[in-house]
Amino acid sequence: MTGADASGLPGEARDSVPRHVAIIMDGNGRWARQRNQPRHAGHRAGVESVRRVIEVCGEQGVEILTLFAFSSENWQRPRTEVNLLMELFMMALGREARKLQRNNVRLRVIGETTAFPEKLQQRIREAEQLTASNDGLLLQIAANYGGRWDIARAARRLAEAVAAGRLQPEQIDEERFAEATAFAGVPDPDLFIRTGGELRISNFLLWQCAYSELYFTPVLWPDFGRAEFIEALRDYARRERRFGRTSEQVDLAG
């Protein structure tokens, strides 16, 4: 290995920067509990981690960042926590949209957003419109998202196209299916990170993570800083992605 450059990544690792990073931001509640604070203090602290990873993505040349902010199962939490998460989302969108705009970040919210309060939906539309023509980092926030919801909706969309005579069943292949999901036109995640120590996918990306490199860390989301993210990127750079081939074939294609 050559020495790390100022960016913190070893020189030869820079070709191995993932194009698309997806993160399950978990552990806010435990972070707060460790400090004898209410769970919402953890969610607030988590917003700071979001800012940091967006910054590092920009510096390292990651093109797409997908963050799991609220799952389709999170409605089952106490009403007060759900309301607080909605408020936090509102505030963060209001406060950060201009900053994203200045930093050439394009924001997209994926998930069943029609279930959100109308004011929040409006703010999402505004932030998406404000940043729509940016061509830097694509930031996708998965909110009221579920992997199974995405797959079921894709199946329904295709079935509707068949019923309307616009599509033949035999035209449905993996490519066309992928285009019917919320990730149409976006490459699959290369690196899939979960903070907070749980070793599960919790209904995040199911179709799209078929060949993602998985990275689990016990670090709680509010503690996931620049150094922890760089470490995940380094770990990714050391992986050999074979996609079913042999190591020798990968070396030859090198």
Which are the catalytic amino acids? Answer: 26, 74
Task: Tell whether residue 96 is a contact of ligand IPE (CB under 6 A).
Answer: no
Identity of the residue, 47 or 155, whose beta carbon is nearer to ligand IPE in the bound complex: 47
Task: Tell whether residue 85 is a contact of ligand IPE (CB under 6 A).
Answer: yes
H or E stretch covering 33: helix 28-34
Identify the residue among 19, 202, 216, 225 touching ligand IPE (CB under 6 A): 202
Task: Tell whether residue 141 is a contact of ligand IPE (CB under 6 A).
Answer: no
Task: Tell whether residue 74 is a contact of ligand IPE (CB under 6 A).
Answer: yes
Task: Tell whether residue 68 is a contact of ligand IPE (CB under 6 A).
Answer: yes
Query: Residues in contact with Mg ion, total (CB under 5 A)?
Result: 1
Least distance from C-beta 224 to Mg ion, angstroms? Answer: 13
Distance CA 96, CA 81 (A): 22
Point out the residue whose Cβ comes nearest to Mg ion. Answer: 26
Distance CA 109, CA 61 (A): 21
The residues in 11-70 that bind Mg ion, with binding defined as CB under 5 A, are 26
DSSP percent split of the chain into helix, strand, coil, nearest 5 = 50, 15, 35
Distance CA 254, CA 248 (A): 10
CB-CB neighbours of 138 under 10 Å: 19
Task: Tell whether residue 26 is a contact of ligand IPE (CB under 6 A).
Answer: yes
Q: Segment near ligand IPE (CB under 6 A), from 12-20, 28-36, 96-104, 211-219?
A: 28-36
For 213-247, give one letter per residue: b (16+ CB within 10 A) or e. bebbbebbbbbbeeebbbebbeebbeeeeeeeeee
User: CA of 119: how far to CAs of 94, 113, 149, 190, in Å?
Assistant: 11, 11, 23, 34
Per the structure block, which two tokens stand in for 1?
Answer: 């290995």
Least distance from C-beta 73 to Mg ion, angstroms? Answer: 10
28's contact among ligand IPE, Mg ion, none, with CB below 5 to 8 A by partner kind, is ligand IPE
What are 184-188's contacts with CB under 8 Å, separation 24+? 186/20, 186/64, 186/138, 186/140, 187/19, 187/20, 187/64, 188/20, 188/212
Identity of the residue, 124 or 142, whose beta carbon is nearer to Mg ion in the bound complex: 142
Identity of the residue, 26 or 96, whose beta carbon is nearer to Mg ion in the bound complex: 26
Least distance from C-beta 148 to ligand IPE, angstroms? Answer: 14
CB-CB neighbours of 66 under 10 Å: 25
30's contact among Mg ion, ligand IPE, none, with CB below 5 to 8 A by partner kind, is ligand IPE
| Residue ranges that bind Mg ion, judged by CB under 5 A | 26
| Residue ranges that bind ligand IPE, judged by CB under 6 A | 24-30, 68-71, 73-74, 85, 196, 198, 200, 202
